[in-house]
Structure 1
């Protein structure tokens, strides 16, 4: 019997509830709360015409709406407010509602309060989705009944009635979701931390603070998995309340998941458990070796080593993450639309032995691009640029050329759309070339999400007449 859930159900009934954001993650939440008897008003900056496909599922329900320009002007007189993760918690309208006595929360915060199962949660600047999916697959292959949620999977609060205390829940959590969390998971994983989302976070310090919330509320019996090779995450151990386990691709640690002579191993003092050789891992790239090390450190107490190896040798990757789209006469197209930061694009470029044709650029998150210059100079044979960050990426390459003399011969093609960029890249390509979409930027200048951007890229590539 989940007494916390029963208490929540009784308290939510007849309460005036504001749900900010009518997106894919909040539509199940709205239906769930409505069926519990809540009096719901849904808010969204889009107008009714744009939201029509989503609102269709609420036909017949007595739900009120506040839509379009000035949609938050009506945010008054509510008992509970569910904030969408992408919206800052400290905007004037939310602060005013809080001052009025409204309880401000989120779908994920309530889920943490009510979930009876053990929670594994992954955050980081890069590698979150792959690492989360690996942990989920490993636990599931071991035989646990598992749930996948957070940024991926399904909104789990709407499934809370079905989750048992013997289940395992695996979550991917962004800094936006973590910023106001007051609970941490039983097993927390931080893949890495580098500058990201500084268009939303007020500073790098605020971004790092949000990431720390994944572990700061743990108890001594919980586990924290940290990247030893990342300067920021390594120092998180100083504030850890749980048992710290590192993973490292570069260091021979006394305890943790490490890479030793092309073998992924888990060390615990004198005990060394060999897991899998790097050449047996299907998905390419050293960053994916790090993802496997992180996942191994997270599940080693729950999953047999043979299960971890099985997943490593059968897992083909996640959509939009160095995803092979098509081979046209020897020209291979890869979709790495998930790469919304320079560090992610650097990892993608380093996955290939030969130089590639890179399509890059997008929405400007106000983060530095300096580190991208040297890697482009070394790994790229033609640079195709689109979007707001095109000048920043071009400048990063020019600065590297001035500094080292490298990259001066790389053609830079500037395009106004993704369609033009794909055509320009394909026109430049010769047989056996690789073309990769790896934007190093968010998608919001041209697309609603990196998924939409990736799907559009695949659509364009698949429409090419061979």
Structure 2
């Protein structure tokens, strides 16, 4: 990996753009690789790169002008941190933008299983890693899961399987794809960054756009290459895949598998190319149809690594679900509490309501990014949840839209509007009936209210249980 970095930066003026966790790891490896002409860091915040620089001279640019085109174009190579929004398209700059993700995939693409999707990518990545590890495969997990790839790059061994979770921001500008790619789903998301659904979809499609013959794409039938994606226009159907496509489908509830995909998930039954598996409904930490779909995809991938059904099921039973992903927290005052703080779109809130039994209260709302909630609002009119507790900016918007479009639901007494999460929890406790469930599934981002969805979920748990909830949440 150091050789690859050195080839990229040899004799060049190099800038690390963004100095969070990934930016710091980029600086460490760039300094270790050596060979640059000049080296600098640029960030909106005041930062100190001295620790990562290891005694090397590093210029520092901070403040509101850290993204100025004149500054960026004074460098040859810019390591851009995912999520930083450039004022203009990359092609108009003189400098060349590179990323950890692109250089890492270029170096190790034949060893990588790259996983993306609007939702489910962290669960799928961690489950695949766990099962491969438990069944004897040399495996490492990295990427958007919270482990910058440069942190592991020097330790990768030949033949080791790299399970790589990839966000849309990591995929946005790359021109290389992993040998095995996984695209789970595509929903409206991150439009504050991309502006249009078409641009968001195109970023995600880089997971397979640069694959070669002999590569493999595991893909949800709803977002297959060549298919027009809802809301993204005809251009979303124009990105071909050169690899083998293995389709995956979730069979509608109550129906049987009918050959609509290479991987079919019907209830808790999975079928893949002549193999079949019954997912245990008890004794595993994952539950709900959306999680069964992720298990089905992982089952298909594991078959490519010759994992037997017996070993797969044994490993599945020891897997622990990730925090804040429809995580059962425990019982308090007769109510069961679930933390689904990672939910930032309406579709995932619908999945939560369909997965948890006897939902007494659903807590919805957060930062308003202009996401369309019409599907969620329609679903709520026919749902059996007794109390729909809305909060923050999106909660207020959903409250208004339901008042306008669904007057019967609005007048039913099931709807309540609160300011913040604390008031929503207090109301759920006051209205709750013993044996029911209170589910935090916000269908909205946490930014501006909490640092991230993890902090929101932890605050929810702490507010209800205090220190006593730590053990139950593990």
Pick the TM interval, shorter chain: 0.7 to 0.9
Given candidates 118, 128, 131, the residue that maps to 1:125 is 118
Q: Which residue of 2 aligns with 1:345?
A: 349
Given candidates 87, 95, 104, the residue that maps to 2:97 is 104
How far does residue 334 in structure 1 lie from its aligned partner after superposition? 1.4
User: Is 1:427–2:424 an aligned residue pair?
Assistant: no
Q: Which residue of 2 aligns with 1:235?
A: 227
- Provide closer, same or farther for how the CA distance between residues 261 and 114 of structure 1 changes in structure 2, counting only shifts above 3 A: closer
Q: Which residue of 1 aligns with 2:454?
A: 451
Q: In the aligned structure 2, how far is the partner of 1:464 from the partner of 1:435? A: 19
- Provide closer, same or farther for how the CA distance between residues 364 and 55 of structure 1 changes in structure 2, counting only shifts above 3 A: farther
CA deviation vs aligned residue, 1:275-314 (integer Å, no higher than 9, x gap):
5344564322111011111212222110222232123323
More divergent stretch after superposition (288-297 vs 426-435): 426-435
TM-score scaled by length of structure 1: 0.87
Q: Which residue of 2 aligns with 1:29?
A: 26
Given candidates 127, 130, 146, the residue that maps to 1:134 is 127
- Provide closer, same or farther for how the CA distance between residues 32 and 462 of structure 1 changes in structure 2, counting only shifts above 3 A: farther
- Provide closer, same or farther for how the CA distance between residues 400 and 324 of structure 1 changes in structure 2, counting only shifts above 3 A: farther
How far does residue 12 in structure 1 lie from its aligned partner after superposition? 2.7
Conserved? CA contact 1:361–1:387, under 8 Å: yes
SS in 2 for 1:147: strand
Within 5 Å, which residues of 2 pair with 1:389-408?
A: 389-398=394-403, 401-402=406-407, 405-406=408-409, 408=411
Q: In the aligned structure 1, how far is the partner of 2:321 from the partner of 2:219? A: 22
Q: Which residue of 1 aligns with 2:297?
A: 294
Given candidates 276, 279, 284, the residue that maps to 2:279 is 276
Q: Which residue of 2 aligns with 1:178?
A: 171
- Provide closer, same or farther for how the CA distance between residues 261 and 13 of structure 1 changes in structure 2, counting only shifts above 3 A: closer
Aligned-residue Cα RMSD (Å) equals 2.8
How far does residue 163 in structure 1 lie from its aligned partner after superposition? 0.8
- Provide closer, same or farther for how the CA distance between residues 261 and 333 of structure 1 changes in structure 2, counting only shifts above 3 A: closer
TM-score scaled by length of structure 2: 0.86
- Provide closer, same or farther for how the CA distance between residues 11 and 202 of structure 1 changes in structure 2, counting only shifts above 3 A: closer
More divergent stretch after superposition (281-290 vs 456-465): 456-465
Q: Which residue of 2 aligns with 1:264?
A: 270
Conserved? CA contact 1:246–1:297, under 8 Å: no
Q: Which residue of 2 aligns with 1:83?
A: 80
Q: In the aligned structure 1, how far is the partner of 2:223 from the partner of 2:404? A: 25
SS in 2 for 1:348: helix
- Provide closer, same or farther for how the CA distance between residues 384 and 25 of structure 1 changes in structure 2, counting only shifts above 3 A: farther
- Provide closer, same or farther for how the CA distance between residues 25 and 372 of structure 1 changes in structure 2, counting only shifts above 3 A: same
Q: In the aligned structure 2, how far is the partner of 1:319 from the partner of 1:261? A: 24
Q: In the aligned structure 1, how far is the partner of 2:7 from the partner of 2:279? A: 50
User: Is 1:316–2:320 an aligned residue pair?
Assistant: yes
Given candidates 47, 59, 62, the residue that maps to 2:57 is 62
CA deviation vs aligned residue, 1:352-398 (integer Å, no higher than 9, x gap):
12133122111222220001113333143222222221233224543
SS in 1 for 2:24: helix
- Provide closer, same or farther for how the CA distance between residues 7 and 87 of structure 1 changes in structure 2, counting only shifts above 3 A: closer
Q: In the aligned structure 2, how far is the partner of 1:421 from the partner of 1:219? A: 50
User: Is 1:217–2:207 an aligned residue pair?
Assistant: no
Conserved? CA contact 2:208–2:217, under 8 Å: yes
Structure 2, unpaired ranges of 5+: 229-236, 252-256, 470-474
SS in 2 for 1:340: coil
Conserved? CA contact 2:135–2:315, under 8 Å: no
How far does residue 182 in structure 1 lie from its aligned partner after superposition? 0.7
Q: Which residue of 1 aligns with 2:231?
A: none
CA deviation vs aligned residue, 1:27-65 (integer Å, no higher than 9, x gap):
22222212223543222222x2xx57x976668553332
